Structure 1
Amino acid sequence: MTPAGGPIIRPVSSTDVARLAGVSQSAVSRTFSPDGSVSARTREKVLAAAATLGYRPNRIPAIMLSGRSHMVGVIVGGLDNPFYATVLDRFAVALRGIGLHVLLVQVADSLALDAALDQLAGYRVDAAVTALAVGTRRAADALSALRIPIVCFNSRLTSSWISTVRSDNRAAGRDAADLLADRGVRRPAWMAGPRANAASQERGRGFVERLATHGLAPAATMQGADTYQGGYDAIRRLLSVSPPPDGLFCGNDLMACGAIDALRQAGGLSVPGDVLVMGYDDIPQAAWHSYDLTSFDQQVDRMVAAALDLLATALAGPPGPAGGRTLNVPARLVERGSTRHGG
């Protein structure tokens, strides 16, 4: 703030740097432009003057001229789930590594990207990436209207501007059914996330399909929030009206952890002695001794790398539609004690 009655303090300009360095203002601009060409001697003088004055270049003129900000909007939500926090960290590190700046856009509902629209439209970002799925055609159309490349995770909806990298959710569901059947489960149950969660629905579809090939059908199908409490409450409700299952596949690890605690505390049951339990995401808590949870690793590093490849392809050419692509990454089964009798 400027002291009352004192001189107006203005930001240091490129003209100030040019005057101190004894060069032209255009030489200063070229020094701080990624494509600018100046001699080594001129660059040295400009950088020394900028350091002395504390100068930071204004990126707005370059953005206006080129139409590119080198900023990528990273949309996040549901950060209470460690899976999303992990993806955010990987995205941020990878984007900085290829010279892009991150604009963090947080939405309250991890299943809806609508809330991000105003923030993305208000800044001139070159693209957007997100670990969240596009849940509705209305949201897909609204995001496409921004006319920037968008890459998301586990979305069943794409468009000419939207591409997706998906965990092979249905295949993992089939693998979960095979494992439980091989362990002798006769009363399997499926715990789904919200209906808008397309990835969860795919996992459940693969699970039920493969159970049928083993001559099995779900003894119970539950639905709840993609949270620890959602899993806990779903089991409490089930136990109040039905005998417990002997095997349970959950839409994510947080639900599975809640389910395990409810089975033990509300049902007086042993995991894995009475009920085998599986989750999805392989979050850090899955390896905790109290859960020792069998899960599926979505291989986040591979998914982020695939997302960046899609992004690089979209940004390599002139601005325009470059979406509509879907890349699948297999989920890796990580078996722990929750599916081993006596484990």
Structure 2
Amino acid sequence: MAAAATLGYRPNRIPGIMLSGRSHMVGVVIGGLDNPFYASALERLAIALRQAGLQVLLVQVDDALTLDSALDQLASYRIDAVVTSLAVGSQSVAHAFSELQTPVICFNSSFVGPWISTVTSNNYGAGQTAAEIFLKQGVIHPVWLAGPAKNAASRARADGFCDTLEKASDRFDKLIRLRGDDTYQSGYNAICRLLQRGARPDGIFSSNDMMACGVLDALRECGDLRCPNDVIVLGYDNIPQAAWHGYDLTSFDQRTDQMVTVAMDLLNEALQTVDHPFSQTRTINAQLIERGSTRTSK
């Protein structure tokens, strides 16, 4: 040991990995870091994994929503598990990941299977709550601003929102459905185009906060509508910008800390049953954070 210290020797972990079949490395797939929600989730995941004595192998993908494109990269590494804030994008990819027989823990995935678990926000329930706020506020001209079609969380939010509004369809005009790509600019552009067509919405629910911030700026710059007196706006994710005075945006907090805690619990359980397929779905209720964008004087 003295000689090792003198020589600055560091043990080579590769022989131990080959003998045990365990690397104590976890692949963390990242994408869409321009959205503060994913950046926050990544930071919390990395801290939790390090505290658990696991090494992080960072795998970056261009797709901001799913880990589908990471399949080939992950298959080439000897990792013990995959943890990601992204979702599995299709049943065929879920099957391919299952064939790797490596535990996968992801966020907000509608596709699971053997070896794949997910921690999901109660997106449907939050959509219901958003609709109830619209009904309570007396919204007559509602707008739903969806994310990309392959975004499973956005689809679930839409289902909860639209199902609830349809039950009270006699109280408002036909729901206007718009689509963005989860970016600020797409939210801004969608509302500017809507206002240019002469529409005057009085309630807008955006699938995420990035687009909702664009919505608020579009209302200021492209129309004569004021938030919240003329139109109320809700977002999702409770990113830091939502609390900025210029936005003061009502949003749903996915409670990232709790999602990461549950993800780590699932990971530990999966690693203890590594010889058997492990798959669970855990749902966490989002927390409504009410701010000025829904506080009207009506």
Q: TM-score, normalised by structure 1?
A: 0.83
Aligned residue identity for 2:287:
R
Supply the distance in 2 between the matched residues of 1:315 and 1:111 (Cα, whole angstroms): 26
Supply the distance in 2 between the matched residues of 1:112 and 1:194 (Cα, whole angstroms): 11
Aligned residue identity for 1:228:
Y
Conservation of the 8 A alpha-carbon contact between 1:227 and 1:254: yes
Query: Which residue is equivalent to 2:244?
Result: 288
Supply the distance in 2 between the matched residues of 1:213 and 1:164 (Cα, whole angstroms): 30
- Secondary structure of the equivalent of 1:177? helix
Supply the distance in 1 between the matched residues of 2:4 and 2:252 (Cα, whole angstroms): 51
| Match runs of 1:1-343 below 5 Å | 46=1, 48-215=2-169, 216=172, 218-323=174-279, 325-341=280-296
Structure 1 residues 318 and 152: CA distance shift in structure 2, 3 A: closer
Highest RCO, 1 vs 2 (Cα 8 Å, sep ≥ 6): 2
Aligned residue identity for 1:327:
R
Deviations 1:30-73 (A, max 9, x none): xxxxxxxxxxxxxxxx2x44332222211100000000000000
How far is 1:263 from its partner? 1.2
Deviations 1:94-131 (A, max 9, x none): 00111111001110011232221222112100000111
Supply the distance in 2 between the matched residues of 1:168 and 1:183 (Cα, whole angstroms): 23
Structure 1 residues 122 and 253: CA distance shift in structure 2, 3 A: same
Aligned residue identity for 2:87:
A
How far is 1:244 from its partner? 2.1
How far is 1:342 from its partner? 5.1
How well do the aligned residues superpose, as a CA RMSD in angstroms? 1.5
Aligned residue identity for 1:270:
R
How far is 1:139 from its partner? 1.7
How far is 1:76 from its partner? 0.8
Larger radius of gyration: 1
Gaps of 5+ in 1: 1-45
Q: TM-score, normalised by structure 2?
A: 0.96
Deviations 1:164-205 (A, max 9, x none): 111000000000111121122111110000110010011011
Conservation of the 8 A alpha-carbon contact between 1:272 and 1:341: yes
* Superposed structure 1 runs of 4+ greater than 6 Å apart: none
- Secondary structure of the equivalent of 2:268? helix
How far is 1:144 from its partner? 1.7
How far is 1:219 from its partner? 3.1
Gaps of 5+ in 2: none
- Secondary structure of the equivalent of 1:91? helix
Supply the distance in 2 between the matched residues of 1:339 and 1:218 (Cα, whole angstroms): 21
- Secondary structure of the equivalent of 1:256? helix
Conservation of the 8 A alpha-carbon contact between 1:73 and 1:105: yes
How far is 1:270 from its partner? 1.2
Structure 1 residues 148 and 79: CA distance shift in structure 2, 3 A: same
Conservation of the 8 A alpha-carbon contact between 2:68 and 2:89: no
Conservation of the 8 A alpha-carbon contact between 1:219 and 1:245: no
Aligned length: 296
Aligned residue identity for 1:144:
S
Q: Which moved more, 1:119-128 or 1:283-292?
A: 119-128
Give identity over the alignment, percent: 58
How far is 1:218 from its partner? 4.7
